[in-house]
Structure 1
Amino acid sequence: MSRQDRRDALTNAERAAVEAQRAAASEAREAALLERNRIARELHDVLGHSLTGIAMQLDLADALATRGRSEEANSVVLRTRSIAVDSVTQMRAAVLALRDDSQSLSEALKTLADNEAVPFTCTGEARPATPDVTHALLRATQEALANAAKHAPGATRRIDLGYTADAVHLVVTNSAAATGHTPADRGWTGLGLTAMRERIAVLGGTVRACPTDSGGWAVEARIPG
Structure 2
Amino acid sequence: MTSTGDVEGRAGPPLWWVRRRDVVVDGALGAVSAVECGWEGASFAREAGLPVAVGVLFGIAVGAVLLLRRRWPIAVVLVGIAVAPAAMGFLLGVVGLYTLASSEVPRRITGTLASMSLAATFVVMYLRTRGDVEADPMLVVVLSGFVAVALTVPPVLFGLYVGARRRLMESLQERADSLERELSLLADRAEERAEWARTEERTRIAREMHDVVAHRVSLMVVHAAALEAVALKDPARAVKNAALVGDMGRQALTELREMLGVLRAAEKPKPAPAAAPVPAGGGATAVVAPLSAALVAVFDDGPSLGGLEELVGQSRAAGMAVEVVVQGEAAGYAAELEQTAYRVVQEALTNCHKHAPGARVVVRLAHREGEVAMQVENGPCEGRSDGVGLPSGGNGLVGMRERVLALGGVFVSGPTDAGGFRVSAVLPVR
TM-score range, shorter chain: 0.5 to 0.7
Alpha-carbon contact 1:210-1:217 (below 8 Å) kept: yes
| 1:3-82 alignment runs, 5 A limit | 42-46=204-208
Q: Do the aligned partners of 1:94 and 1:139 also contact (CA within 8 Å) in 2?
A: no
Q: Following superposition, which runs of at least 4 residues in structure 1 exceed 2 angstroms of deviation?
A: 39-48, 91-104, 179-184
Instruction: Give me the CA root mean square deviation.
Output: 3.8
2 CA distance for matches of 1:93 and 1:177?
31
Unaligned ranges ≥5, structure 1: 1-38, 49-88
Partner residue in 2 for 1:163: 367
Whether 2:312 is the aligned partner of 1:113: answer yes
1:128 match: 332
Rounded Cα–Cα distance in structure 2 between residues aligned with 1:122 and 1:201 = 23
Which structure has the larger Rg? 2
Q: What do the CA deviations read for 1:35-84 (whole angstroms, capped 9, x no partner)?
A: xxxx9764332569xxxxxxxxxxxxxxxxxxxxxxxxxxxxxxxxxxxx
Q: Paired residue for 2:356?
A: 152
Determine which structure has greater relative contact order: mean sequence separation of CA pairs < 8 Å that are 6+ residues apart, divided by chain length.
Answer: 1
Contact 1:42/1:94 (CA < 8 Å) preserved in 2? Answer: no
Query: Which sections of structure 2, spanning at least 5 residues, go unmatched?
Result: 1-200, 211-248, 259-297, 317-321
Whichever structure has more strand as a proportion of its residues is 1
Measured in 2, the distance between the counterparts of 1:220 and 1:123 equals 15
Residues 101 and 46 (structure 1), Cα distance of their counterparts in 2 relative to 1, 3 Å cut: closer
Relative distance call for 1:92 and 1:201 in structure 2 (3 A) is farther
- Which is helix-richer, 1 or 2? 2
- 3-state SS of the aligned residue for 2:425? strand
Residue 95 (structure 1) aligned with residue 255 (structure 2): yes
Q: CA deviation at 1:115?
A: 2.0
Q: Is the 8 A contact 1:158 1:173 kept in 2?
A: yes
Q: Are positions 1:194 and 2:398 aligned together?
A: yes
Alpha-carbon distance in structure 2 between the residues aligned to 1:206 and 1:92:
29
**Deviation string, structure 1 residues 166-186 (Cα, Å, up to 9, x no partner):** 2100001111111567998xx
Identity, in percent, stands at 32
3-state SS of paired residue (2:353): helix
